[in-house]
Amino acid sequence: MANWEELPQVIRGLIVRRLATEDFLAVRRVCTSWRTAAAKETFNAKSRAPWLMIYTYSRIAKFCSPSTGSTYPVQLPRYHGQTMSTPGWILVSRGPSEYRIVNPLSCISIELPALEKLHGDIHHIHKIALSSSPSLSRSYAVMISYGRSQGFAFLRSGDDAWTAVNDATHLPWSNVIRLVYYDGLFVALDEQSRIMTLNERKSRMESRLVLGLDCYADGDPYLVECSGSLLVAWKIWGEKYGGYVKEIRAFKVDLEKGTEEEIKSLGNASIFLNGNASFSVEFNAESCLPGIKPNSVYYPDYEDDQMKSYGMEDGKFETYIDETSSCLFDATSNCLYYDATNRRRIYEAKWFQPDF
């Protein structure tokens, strides 16, 4: 039998493109020559890519393939100080103000410049957003909110230092709760329900609009792109700040006009809410995600310690369950990945889009 290295490149390519998703990822992680043979272009990642639910502390991830409907558990490497960011990367720290972004599937990491160069004292990154995947493009930008006063800074690939960003003119300071990249712009949402965008040329935030609902009194808002539009999805509280969710409302935002319009349907799409990595999935005739329905919103319910969904059409809440639930969700399970010291699994669970 010939060694892998002795096989012609074209033969190796034919082999890897027929692998199952988990085997394809395993091949790419062996070494450089194997990763070259398992080039992303040889794998139909767009149609076969799994949607990943990652557990930040127990490191248990559940892959769901939209083309086959299959699911399987995977245990990922441990990273310290994780913050999710779309598309498919996480922010990790190795010490005070020392950060890098990591692709948890390929284990590729990119070191970020030291934060001390911004103001000289120790800082903490609160939110992060990427303009594009570093796996797919060498030209990308990173934006962060950081520090006790939550200032802004951005970085273009290849830069060796952060560029500080000034606050929006005539606006009082407020904590940033969401930061995303949409349609060529970095977009931030603060606790005063204000949406701002970055003007890179002026290195300044610019105010776009103030939302009609209140972050303190009405609910918890999330920024998410869905079907080409920027949405604000609100988890509306039933009684008090941070209490149970009584409904979810969605508003389409027009950044140019500075307006918002409530929508009652997501069409063939579903939304997955995370603190800083919310995303949407559009369904077609070939899509098959176990237990996932279109026109729904999926989110972690911290009151009940469960993953739940909300149907936009009927307003019905459901607990998310699939064939891996007994292994990944049951705190009394004897499954291989059960960690007796971490009983509140759902509290740590986050939806995550993988990046090849």
Residue 128 lies in a domain: yes
Largest CA distance in the chain: 72
Report, as an integer, the average pLDDT of 282-286: 76
- Structural domain tally of the chain? 1
For residue 116, the 8-state DSSP code is: H
Alpha-helical (H) ranges within 21-105 are: 21-28, 32-37, 45-48
Model confidence band, residue 106 (pLDDT cutoffs 50, 70, 90)? confident
61: its two tokens: 């991830």
CB atoms under 10 Å from CB of 138, counted, come to: 8
Q: How high is the pLDDT of residue 67?
A: 64
What's residue 55's pLDDT? 62
CB-hemisphere CA count at 13 Å for 96? 6
Residue 42 has what DSSP assignment? G
Residue 88 lies in a domain: yes
Does a structural domain hold residue 6?
A: no
The CATH number of whichever domain residue 175 belongs to comes to: 2.120.10.80
- Checking if the pLDDT of 77 tops 60, the result is yes
Q: Which domain holds residue 129?
A: 80-210
Residue type, 296: S
Q: How far is CA 134 from CA 48, 53, 87, 88, in A?
A: 20, 21, 9, 10
Tell me the backbone φ, ψ of residue 209, rounded to 5 degrees.
Answer: -165, 165
* pLDDT bucket at 54, cuts 50 / 70 / 90: low
**What pLDDT is attached to residue 351?**
81
Picking from 27-36, 46-55, 248-257, which range would have the lowest pLDDT averaged per residue?
A: 46-55
Lowest mean pLDDT segment, chosen from 51-60, 87-96, 257-266: 51-60
Tell me the three-class secondary structure of 269-328, residue by residue: EEEECCCCCCEEEECCCCCCCCCCCCCEEEEEECCCCEEEEEECCCCCEEECCCCCHHHH
Q: Which of 112, 90, 98, 125 is nearest to 162 (CA)?
A: 112
Kindly report whether the global pTM for this prediction surpasses the value 0.85.
no
Mean pLDDT of the 301-322 span: 86
Decide if 325 is inside a domain.
no
Distance CA 299, CA 197 (A): 26
Would 47 be classed as within a structural domain?
Answer: no
* Alpha-helical runs (H) found in 83-144: 116-119
> What is the pLDDT averaged over residues 194-206?
95
Residue 57 has pLDDT above 70, yes or no: no
Residue 221 forms part of a structural domain:
no
* Residue matched to tokens 């009940």: 304
Report if residue 160 sits inside a domain.
Answer: yes
In a domain, 202, yes or no: yes
180, pLDDT greater than 50: yes
CB 293 within 8 A of CB 311: yes
